[in-house]
Amino acid sequence: MPPRVLIVDNEEIVRELGRAALPNVGVVDVAANGAEALRRIREAETYAVVVSDMRLGDMTGAQLLAEVERLSPETTRIMQSGDGNPDTAIEAVNLGHVFAFISKPITTAQLLATVQEGVRHHQLITAEHQLLETTLRSSINLVMEVLAAVDPHSFEVSQGVRRAVRQFAQAARLPRVWELEMAAALARIGTASLPAAVMGKLVAGSPLNPDEQTLVEHVPEVGAQLLKTVPRMEQVAEAVRYQLRNFDGSGPPTDACARDQIPSGARILRIFTDRARLELDGFGLREVRDQMQARRGCYDPTLLAAAFELVPDCFMRGLSPSMTIRRVPAAGLWPNQTVAEDIVTTDGMLLVPVGSRLTGLTIKLILNHLNLRTIKPPFCVQDLPLESHAAATQFPFAPPQSPTVVRS
């Protein structure tokens, strides 16, 4: 797909000269002011390069490019201006974080060379992000499978919130969806530091004593400390750190961060995590919305309204009423099936609770228990809904060949 370039200038002759100077770069669009440019950016495919004049009438070019950065961080931003004032360039760099600043008048060859360099920069940035996202997804999926085996309850909450925030971010056309998705997936990673007795209370919903409550409140900080050591995960770590912070500034951690100063990822994460807990407690969607709206000062009101508008259905359903429950042998277990009946060992230990989504590692755990004859098939499962088949993963382990496993 050819790159797209947007030329923004309030003079028609400059727009047309810009279009004529870039015949072989890719698709070139023009806009006469900042509002038109932002409309194009919201409606069109991602622009590789935006070239803006400093004086647009309805806003400055620096203000426009700052908004472009928010809407499309990978877009290369170039400022051009006939104003010889050095403060103009400083504003462009500080506010719009421009890739290049060019002074008018500019020759066709200079404009072409600058835009071509901007396209190459965009290609490098997007290639790096794609590689980073692919690598991180594989790593995070591995971590999530380990968490599923250690703490199935936390895994189910994290997976539900992860699906919901991805749907929300895509519908809202937020930049860097993967960062928000990773924050949701890893929000509870700090629970690995909790003693088993405290985790048991959390799962059961039992009251905590003050010391235990302090440990739980430090879980986001523990998770953030783990994540900030991973390259390019700084924003994810900050979302995890502030996931319990109320919009009014109360709650952990103990600093002065409040309202819009709280990372947007943390504000979104707080909303969908609390919504998931209420849904798991059995409340209907309207009850969940009413309860959350009544919690004054807890949530960003704009994001809270958008969360119910863009994700209008319950997302922690567990079992689906439209899908058949089947009793299957070990060979019939596949990742992304939902467990429809508790899987319990012969000595009464709960191995996989009802409503859990199977992963490759969870299935391996079940197969190992089968080999030890500490669990008996068949198993009650519900297949992945048809609309979610694209998310299914390949079975990573060969089913055991022991005769004791294949009998049901």
Give the model confidence (pLDDT) of 87-112 as tens digits. 655 665 666 578 888 887 788 888 88
**How far is 22 from 111, CA to CA, in rounded Å?**
8
- Taking a C-beta distance cutoff of 8 angstroms, is the pair 237, 221 a contact? no
Q: What is the pLDDT of residue 360?
A: 80
Percent of the chain with pLDDT over 70: 82
Q: May I ask the CATH class of domain 4-124? A: alpha beta
The domain limits of the chain are 4-124, 151-310, 325-406
To which CATH superfamily is domain 151-310 assigned? Hypothetical protein af1432 (1.10.3210.10)
In CATH terms, are 4-124 and 151-310 the same topology? no
Average pLDDT over residues 38-58: 87
Asked if pLDDT for residue 125 goes beyond 70, the answer is yes
Confidence label for 227 from pLDDT (cuts 50, 70 and 90): confident
pLDDT (average), residues 311-319 = 73
The tens digit of pLDDT for each residue in 177-195 reads 888 888 988 888 888 788 8
Mean pLDDT of 136-165: 71
Residue 174 vs residue 7, higher pLDDT: 7
* pLDDT of 137 higher than 50: yes
Q: Global pTM? A: 0.59
> Which two structure tokens, joined as six digits, stand for 359?
């992963």
Please check the confidence at residue 223 and state whether its pLDDT lies above 50.
yes
Do residues 57 and 29 make contact, with C-beta atoms less than 8 angstroms apart? no
**Burial class of residue 46 in the structure, from the number of CB atoms within 10 Å of its CB (0-12 exposed, 13-18 middle, 19+ buried):** middle
| Cα separation values, 389 from 145, 191, 262, 333, 337, Å | 19, 30, 36, 15, 10
Instruction: Give me the mean pLDDT over the 369-381 stretch.
Output: 91
As given in the structure block, the two tokens for residue 103 are: 């002074």
Q: What is the pLDDT of residue 309?
A: 92
Torsion of CA 369, 375, 378, 384, to 10 degrees: -50
Please report the sign of the dihedral spanned by the C-alpha atoms of residue 39, residue 45, residue 46, residue 48.
Answer: negative
What was the pLDDT predicted at 153?
A: 62
The stretch 299-321 carries a mean pLDDT of: 83
Residue of 402 and 16 predicted with greater confidence? 16
Residue 130 confidence (pLDDT) above 90: no
Give the DSSP H or E segment for 401.
Answer: none
Of the candidates 243, 290, 248, 308, the residue with the CA atom closest to the CA atom of residue 270: 243
What number of other Cβ atoms are within 10 A of residue 406's Cβ? 14
Per-residue confidence band for 339, with pLDDT thresholds at 50, 70 and 90? confident
Query: Beta partners for 327?
Result: 380
Over residues 153-173, the mean pLDDT reads 81
List CB contacts of 388: < 8 A, sequence separation 6 or more: 336
